[in-house]
Amino acid sequence: MELTTTIFYVFALVLVLSALKVITAKNPVHSALFLVLSFFTAAAIWMLLKAEFLAILLVLVYVGAVMVLFLFVVMMIDIDIEHLRRDFWTYVPLASVIGALIIGEMATVLVRNFIGTTVPLNNVAQGPDYSNTAALGKLIYTDYIYAFEVAGIILLVAIIAAVALTLRRRKDNKSQDVGEQLRTRRQDRVRLVSMPSEARAGTQASPDAAAAANKN
């Protein structure tokens, strides 16, 4: 077995184990850290496949930006671990069905495109001036431009949905209506109340106290 193949199997084992720890760790911070390890391991596998641009992009974008943001959010919010652990088994049947469908779809694609094919792979050595980044960009913006645009639209819809779910009205969340604040008049802000004045204690004697003083 070649050294590259051995390294690939080692990285694949680490990737699978870290991915399992992402979904089985009880602490959400530990899950985020194992996800960082998964991204690094996947980037290392892409480096073995000579996809340097994808590997660097995975480290810079996901590990350097997205995962740091996830980690900050997880550490700042108060997550009810007991509630999540109690309701975990409620979603297991639905999650199993969805997972089985995903595995079936992936198996169908792999069997159809890779297993049993007689088309030789393109292993032609490229020149020193060849750039896989430029080739990847040209391929995305020519042959796969519609798929790229659809993926961008899906991500935009996901962002809008996340913001809408976060800003929905809840009993434990206070929000302000800017339009109502702008429509507020001066008469609605301050109200003057006229109240009768009261004598201070000791300034005026009661009638009983005055009569007792006269008798003395």
Q: What is the pLDDT of residue 101?
A: 84
Confidence (pLDDT) at 167: 66
In the 8-state DSSP scheme, what is residue 60?
Answer: I
58 contacts: CB under 8 Å, gap ≥ 6: 39, 42, 43, 46
Residue-level pLDDT at 203 = 52
Residue 95, CA atoms < 13 Å, CB-side half-sphere? 7
Instruction: Name the residue with tokens 């810079």.
Output: 60
In a 13 Å sphere around the CA of 31, the CA atoms on its Cβ side amount to: 13
User: What is residue 153's predicted lDDT score, i.e. its pLDDT?
Assistant: 93
3-state DSSP of 85-112: HHCCCCCHHHHHHHHHHHHHHHHHHHHH
pLDDT of the residue at 173 = 63
pLDDT of residue 3: 80
For helices 3-24 and 28-48, give the axis angle rounded to 10 degrees. 160
pLDDT value for 121? 53
Each residue's pLDDT tens digit in the chain (216 positions)? 678 888 888 888 999 998 898 888 877 778 888 888 888 888 888 888 877 888 888 888 888 777 777 777 766 666 666 666 676 677 778 778 888 887 887 777 666 655 555 555 555 666 777 777 788 888 888 888 998 899 889 988 888 887 777 666 666 666 677 777 788 777 777 777 777 776 555 555 555 555 555 555
Model-wide pTM > 0.85: no
